[in-house]
Amino acid sequence: MKPVKVGICGLGTVGGGTFNVLKRNAEEIARRAGRGIEVAQIGARSSNPRCDTSDTPVTSVLEVADNPDIDIVIELIGGYTVARELVMKAIDNGKHVVTANKALIAVHGNEIFAKAREKGVIVAFEASVAGGIPIIKAIREGLAGNQINWLAGIINGTGNFILTEMREKGRTFDDVLKEAQALGYAEADPTFDVEGIDAAHKLTILASIAFGVPLQFDKAYTEGITRLTTADVNYAEALGYRIKHLGMARRTEAGIELRVHPTLIPADRLIANVNGVMNAVMVNGDAVGSTLFYGAGAGMEPTASAVVADVVDVVRAMTSDPENRVPHLAFQPDALSDHPVLPISACASAYYLRIQAKDHPGVLAQVASILSERGINIESIMQKEAEEHDGLVPMILLTHQVIEQKIDDAIAAMEGLEGVAGKVMRIRVEQLN
């Protein structure tokens, strides 16, 4: 049987890793796929010194999509614009596509999958979420017998590295961010990582596969970690929690929660002990209970591992009837649900509140009264000594679970008190049990 010819578009970190894995493990990969897989063309602006591409023609990315000899286009250039043009052209030309581009899938996936169904081709995207962790395949296939109740993930290594350093070494956010940039974990403009946008792209994809709804990135709530202080990290630790930048998706009767934000998690949960640049995703199903998937969320060969696995899957399925392939988003297209994505104000959570109180009597009683009037129960209170530099008294409260709109109203009332200085710090709390 003649080999399947693939074209790799983008020869950066992941593209270079994919090229090397396909070359190095060619024999093993052929055994798994049932036929050889040949890198027949590369679309790239420049070569990668870590790849010996001397025997492979290098052209522009769109030439790869137009090459009639190419069976599978591997899109690893990233971004929304050129990548979308490349993928749509490849599909129009009847080629299968493998991509690691979470932004492209989260924002344009509905359009891409519709075109792929029309043309009878496969679009595989395992590497778009959590690097080398096969989380998409696990939810789409391994957990297909479950109704997924919720999933929660540490799916951005940069943010996790920053929070780990703040907790373990008492460093400030700005200090650790500079190191993350120097180490190559964070970009010169770290907005996508530290503000939760990167994680929201990935969470959008996971939620769609878990709950059988269309991709709806524009409805995902995102909140970054830039306001977190070392004091918050330490207070959380004293209360038995760790702060993680968590992506959380939950099915409720009212709708689907889709949110990324700093979160207090009990320190004895396995996911709370995922540190550094590692990723982890918890998935809770009605039959299986809670499962945890852990591993490298980025990097040259961990991500290449997922890309190559997708290539093998595509090769295995190329000759199958398109109607009998595993659906892109796990559910048959005509069976996707219109269950709405909830605004953050309608989501339910417990809360950590840090209030900077003036050293006056009665402030705590006023705060407790505000919470009680709104039906918000307090789980625990921690009050510290007045701080030397400003004389303010930090008051830390943990609440029971409540709809966010109520906590918003309570915070607005607290900030209006004469005895409260500045803004109330609010961090959501998830038990994940």
Superfamily of domain 145-296: Dihydrodipicolinate Reductase; domain 2 (3.30.360.10)
User: Does the pLDDT of residue 322 top 90, yes or no?
Assistant: no
Residue 12 annotated in ligand binding: yes
**Per-residue pLDDT at 244:** 98
End-to-end CA distance of the chain: 50
Q: Please answer whether residues 276 and 298 qualify as being in contact, where contact means their C-beta atoms are separated by less than 8 angstroms.
A: no
- In whole angstroms, give the CA distance from residue 225 to residue 174: 11
**Alpha helices by DSSP H, 247-299:** none
Fold held by 344-428: Alpha-Beta Plaits (3.30.70)
Name the active-site residue from 89, 95, 115, 202: 202
pLDDT digits (tens, 9 = 90+) for 342-361: 999 999 999 999 999 998 88
pLDDT-derived band at 286, boundaries 50, 70, 90: very high
Looking at domain 4-132+300-335, its CATH architecture is: 3-Layer(aba) Sandwich (3.40)
pLDDT of amino acid 337:
95
- Within 124-172, residue ranges assigned H as helices are 135-137, 157-169
Mean pLDDT of the chain: 95
Contact yes or no for 419/357 (Cβ under 8 A): yes
14 annotated ligand-binding residue: yes
Q: What's the rounded mean pLDDT across residues 287-309? A: 95
The structural domains of the chain, with segments of one domain joined by +, span 4-132+300-335, 145-296, 344-428
On the CB side of 109, CA atoms within 13 Å amount to: 31
Tokens 């900077």 appear where? Answer: 356
Question: Which of 130, 103, 164 has the alpha carbon at shortest distance from 299?
Answer: 130
Helix H or strand E encompassing 429: strand 425-429
pLDDT of 388 = 66
16 marked ligand binding residue: yes
Q: Model confidence over 109-145: pLDDT tens digits? A: 999 999 999 999 999 999 999 999 999 999 999 999 9
Closest CA to 355 of 397, 297, 300, 400: 397
Per the annotation, the verdict on 202 as an active-site residue is yes
Q: Is the pLDDT of residue 81 over 70?
A: yes
Residue whose structure tokens are 């690097």: 131
- Over residues 196-225, mean pLDDT: 98
Q: Give the pLDDT band of residue 47 (cuts 50, 70, 90).
A: confident
What pLDDT does 364 receive? 93
**Cβ-count burial of 16 within 10 angstroms (0-12 exposed, 13-18 middle, 19+ buried)?**
buried
Q: Note every long-range contact of 331-337, with CB atoms under 8 Å and residues 24 or more positions apart, other chains counting.
A: 331/212, 333/113, 333/114, 333/117, 335/212, 336/212, 336/213, 336/214, 337/211, 337/212, 337/213
pLDDT at 385: 82
Polymer length in residues for the chain: 433
Per-residue pLDDT at 421 exceeds 70: yes
Question: Which helix or strand (DSSP H or E) is residue 281 part of?
Answer: strand 278-285
The answer, yes or no, to whether residue 224 has pLDDT greater than 80, is yes
In this prediction, residue 319 has a pLDDT band, given cuts at 50, 70 and 90, of confident
pLDDT single digits (tens) 382-420: 988 877 677 899 999 999 999 999 999 999 999 999 999
pLDDT at residue 360, rounded to an integer: 84
120 is in an annotated binding site: no
Report whether 15 belongs to an annotated binding site.
yes
